[in-house]
Structure 1
Amino acid sequence: MVHAIQFRGSPSGEVIQTSFNLPDIQSDEVLVRVTHSGLCGSDIHKLQLPLVLGHEGIGIIEETGSACSRLRVGDRVGWGPLNSTCGTCEMCTIGKDAYCPNAKMYSVEGYDTQGSICSHAVRKEQWLFKIPDAISSADAAPLMCGGGTVWVPLVEQCKPYERVGIVGIGGLGHIAIQFAAKMGCDVVVFSSTDDKKEEALKLGASEFYATKGVADYSQLHVSKPIDRLIITSSAKFNLGLFYPVLARNATILPLSVDGGDLTAPYMPTVGLGHSIVGSCICSRYPQNKMLDFAARHQITCMVEKYPMTLAGVREAVDRLRDGKMRYRGVLGWEY
């Protein structure tokens, strides 16, 4: 039995530190010693729940169940927000298990101990991903959720010869720029101000446009129309703002997590043949392909590092909640 240190949410919204005796592993499970965890915007939405926070875990396997065959003790692995699926429905059998109607994801009832901001975790072998040696643990953590979230719409919707617009250069956006550029796309970035222009261009963007104070986006004088628009910003706006810079039959892909409704002009959407396509978290097959791609193309994440202590977790959460986090936050026991 392993005595785990865990960092949980609470009804007050303040992070608390608890301890927990993990159950013995089952035949298809492994015991992971957590080394790093990313901090995602979704964690901020869960702060008032008494669950173990985090769903971008990286760690070392310390024990494997008798039925485990893919992973071994000593392997460095990661996991994201998906905990289990039925395995037999149409979505599961075609490799889109993230859309399984019975999928159990981070924070659902019965999985309150499955977070990654902790010292140890028991996980099903099938939901763990082996991390390539070429990717550091600090880079790997944000890829477990943030990387997969932008990877799927890019590979499913974007062609190498297309112009891909990316709205926002935060935790998701800065990864999306790199992936899209390495795929061969012409990457165009939209951000509220010029603050991150140089960084966006270094990451692979070919054009950058600041939108703050611009009511008519035709006045941005974008050089060519945008074929695919990936929205990584959490700010809500009428999608019609971007219609003046879109090509006909453009695809708009909103990725950030939020409540409320999407708003778009009806007739321009119909008349121009635009598509608005939702995209969920990454399924297992594309997640493995994403990690391989990131390793081969040296994709890195721009992170702020914090110690995995109560003070460190609280500081990271406060910075993310206040909108002060520069790209992604990563907690580590070694920091």
Structure 2
Amino acid sequence: MGIQFNVFKGSKNGEIIEGKGYRDAKPTEVIVKISHCGVCGSDEHFRHAEQGLGHEGIGLITEVGSSVHAMSEFRVGDRVGMAWFHKFCGYCKQCITGHQNQCVNSTYFGNADQDQGCFGTAVAWDVSTLYKIPDEIASEDAGPLMCAGATVWSPLYDHGLRPGDRIGVIGIGGLGHLAIQFASKMGMEVVVFSSTESKKQEALAFGASEFHVTKGVETLGSIAKLDALLITTNVNPDLALFLPALAAGAKVFPLTISMEALPFSPLALIGGFLSVIGSGLAPTASTQAMLAFAAKNGVKPQIEKFPMTQVGVTEAMQKLRDGKMRYRGVLVVPN
């Protein structure tokens, strides 16, 4: 049967353009009619590429491929979410050991299916990277969980951290405000660092137990040591400020896309028994656990909504670029 769709794309000059496309469902794919899509900083990296944008899509399945019923529980009418990855192979070592986010044969946003994107009305999507959305989570809140939520969840869930651990979060933005909620509701003690006091009350409301201003500060003083540090800022902070606050064996997670080098000396790592861990989106089982946890514990993004139109997409991406989004933009397909 297939589907025709509209999609908003980048362009060489950075202008958002509207295109059209058509897709049939391959045997392992479903057709999803999009209702909402989160706006992520990673979309900005592809604004000058002639491809469909958007990778935090939420929608309803309207059609399934010929093999879908035999290999999954997805059915027409299911509300589902999509993220960065488009397809996992299912047979490489990483896939069969439950680390699908490291699949060596994966396809993903930016390297495949460039005719479509979740900034649009519909997509064809492989069931290997599709997730059912719990009824307790509104579609407008679900989009940002698919990327931002899964990004901050994985360090907390997949790397041996436990209730009672002290978790430092640098930055209170699209990633940071979700990291605070997840960590606090997982029973961890959340210590937030921000350049100014402007977001202090919001950080405490999200679940932070401590708040420290870093602008113009040469030392963090005698705060209790941190078991992990999540860097969620758009640019790398001066880590010399934070190293003395890390407990022996602490784990550092740089979570935003940055080309800058991290200023770690081997001596700092060896002397503190520190680990610096590259962590992207969570693997499949972990993402499913994240959605279940968010549904049960009321974790949701603070969002601003924009219409899924050329004007709406342009406005949302400009506000994100200007650093004025509080805290995740969500595009809504007009009825």
2:157 aligns with: 155
Contact kept in structure 2, 1:238 and 1:264, CA below 8 Å: no
2:8 aligns with: 7
2:113 aligns with: 111
Do structure 1's residue 240 and structure 2's residue 240 form an aligned pair? yes
- In the TM superposition, what is the alpha-carbon distance from 1:287 to its structure 2 partner? 0.7
CA deviation profile, 1:123-163 (whole Å, cap 9, x unmatched):
11222111000000111000010000011100123211210
Report matched runs for 1:36-55 at 5 Å.
36-55=36-55
> How many residue pairs align between the two structures?
330
List alignment gaps of at least 5 residues for structure 2.
none
2:204 aligns with: 201
- In the TM superposition, what is the alpha-carbon distance from 1:268 to its structure 2 partner? 2.4
Separation (CA, whole Å) in 2 of partners of 1:124 and 1:278: 26
Separation (CA, whole Å) in 2 of partners of 1:272 and 1:3: 56
- In the TM superposition, what is the alpha-carbon distance from 1:226 to its structure 2 partner? 0.9
- In the TM superposition, what is the alpha-carbon distance from 1:43 to its structure 2 partner? 0.4
1:57 aligns with: 57
Identity in percent: 44
Do structure 1's residue 260 and structure 2's residue 260 form an aligned pair? yes
Amino acid at match of 1:168: G
Separation (CA, whole Å) in 2 of partners of 1:104 and 1:27: 17
Amino acid at match of 2:196: T
Deviates most, 34-43 or 249-258 = 249-258
CA deviation profile, 1:93-138 (whole Å, cap 9, x unmatched):
1111111222221110x32034200011111122211100000011
1:90 aligns with: 93
Separation (CA, whole Å) in 2 of partners of 1:268 and 1:237: 16
Separation (CA, whole Å) in 2 of partners of 1:11 and 1:85: 30
Contact kept in structure 1, 2:145 and 2:300, CA below 8 Å: no
- In the TM superposition, what is the alpha-carbon distance from 1:85 to its structure 2 partner? 2.6
Contact kept in structure 2, 1:91 and 1:99, CA below 8 Å: yes
Separation (CA, whole Å) in 2 of partners of 1:169 and 1:41: 14
List alignment gaps of at least 5 residues for structure 1.
none
2:18 aligns with: 17
Separation (CA, whole Å) in 2 of partners of 1:65 and 1:248: 51
Displacement over 6 Å in runs of 4+: none
Say which SS state the counterpart of residue 177 (structure 1) adopts. Answer: helix
Contact kept in structure 1, 2:88 and 2:129, CA below 8 Å: no
Amino acid at match of 1:240: A
Contact kept in structure 2, 1:97 and 1:284, CA below 8 Å: yes
Q: TM-score w.r.t. structure 2 length? A: 0.95
- In the TM superposition, what is the alpha-carbon distance from 1:247 to its structure 2 partner? 1.4
Say which SS state the counterpart of residue 316 (structure 1) adopts. Answer: helix
Change (3 A) 1:99 1:114: farther
CA deviation profile, 1:187-228 (whole Å, cap 9, x unmatched):
11011111111111111110001111112333xx42x11111
Say which SS state the counterpart of residue 291 (structure 1) adopts. Answer: helix
Say which SS state the counterpart of residue 94 (structure 2) adopts. Answer: helix
Change (3 A) 1:26 1:268: closer
Separation (CA, whole Å) in 2 of partners of 1:226 and 1:216: 15
Separation (CA, whole Å) in 2 of partners of 1:71 and 1:92: 20
Deviates most, 75-84 or 256-265 = 256-265
1:31 aligns with: 31
- In the TM superposition, what is the alpha-carbon distance from 1:327 to its structure 2 partner? 1.0
- In the TM superposition, what is the alpha-carbon distance from 1:18 to its structure 2 partner? 1.0
Deviates most, 65-74 or 291-300 = 65-74
Separation (CA, whole Å) in 2 of partners of 1:186 and 1:2: 48
Say which SS state the counterpart of residue 217 (structure 1) adopts. Answer: coil
Report matched runs for 1:1-335 at 5 Å.
1-20=2-21, 22-69=22-69, 70-108=73-111, 110-157=112-159, 158-218=161-221, 221-222=222-223, 224-334=224-334
Q: Superposition RMSD on alpha carbons, in Å?
A: 1.3
Contact kept in structure 2, 1:237 and 1:263, CA below 8 Å: no
Contact kept in structure 1, 2:35 and 2:332, CA below 8 Å: yes
Amino acid at match of 1:75: D
Q: TM-score w.r.t. structure 1 length? A: 0.95
